[in-house]
Amino acid sequence: MRPEYKPKAIRSYVIRAGRITEGQRAAFDRWWPEYGLSLHDGVFDPEASYGRRAPLVLEIGFGMGDSLLAMARAEPEKDFIGIEVHPPGVGRLINRAGEEGVTNLRVYMADAIDVLDDCIAPGSVDRFQLYFPDPWHKKKHHKRRIVQPEFVGRVRKVLKAEGLFHLATDWQAYAEHMQEVMESAPGFTNAVAPGTYAERPSYRPITKFEQRGARLGHGVWDLLYRVQRDG
């Protein structure tokens, strides 16, 4: 399996080869038909896919998938979509989800921008999650940061009125950049108070990566923004 994406000049991620284990490879054969979604299938129909109508949560860049799987288990009344370009993480997630019988989860292995443009219906998402995206900390690479006004406009389009956009990063400079972009983003209101970071919501698990960072004295910044009803 290879990630799906359209040609474009600037990406917010690097395509890494990554070593995929035999178990992860086998997971695609066994579990992709149940959990996998294709960029080429057109607009996603949650009710047809999950067999019910439920709040929809979408996460971009779930890495190895541990926290996304934990959230799907903890909130069975919600349906989840994960988007990730790296096969090892996708294979690990669908393998664990399949073995545990998790039914409220679907996965795109594709460029998130392409998925948002072609597959997610406007006003269909209740919560949009972007956790620990690549900060592209060198100034010459800042144009690659995913949190830009154009991207935020895409997020706003797919979120429902009063839907929640939840961002998190462990780079303070990127947190400040996120906040600057979001505070001026049309149609969004800071869910805490203007110019204020949020406490980590209970639904977002603390990852091993985050725990390790905390031991080293690294901070984590959560940002919560809600779509204005008249936005």
User: How far apart, in whole angstroms, are the C-alpha atoms of residue 83 and residue 44?
Assistant: 13
The amino acid at residue 76 is P
Torsion of CA 225, 46, 34, 90, to 10 degrees: -20
Helix axes 87-100, 66-74, angle to 10 degrees: 30
The active-site residue, picked from 134, 170, 222, 230, is: 134
Other Cβ atoms less than 10 A from the Cβ of 17: the count is 8
- 134 tagged catalytic: yes
Q: Which residues contact 204 (CB under 8 A, 6 or more apart)?
A: 67, 71, 129, 131, 166, 168, 222
Q: Which residues contact 87 (CB under 8 A, 6 or more apart)?
A: 1, 2, 3, 18, 20, 24, 28, 109
User: How far apart, in whole angstroms, are the C-alpha atoms of residue 98 and residue 91?
Assistant: 11
Residues classed as catalytic = 134
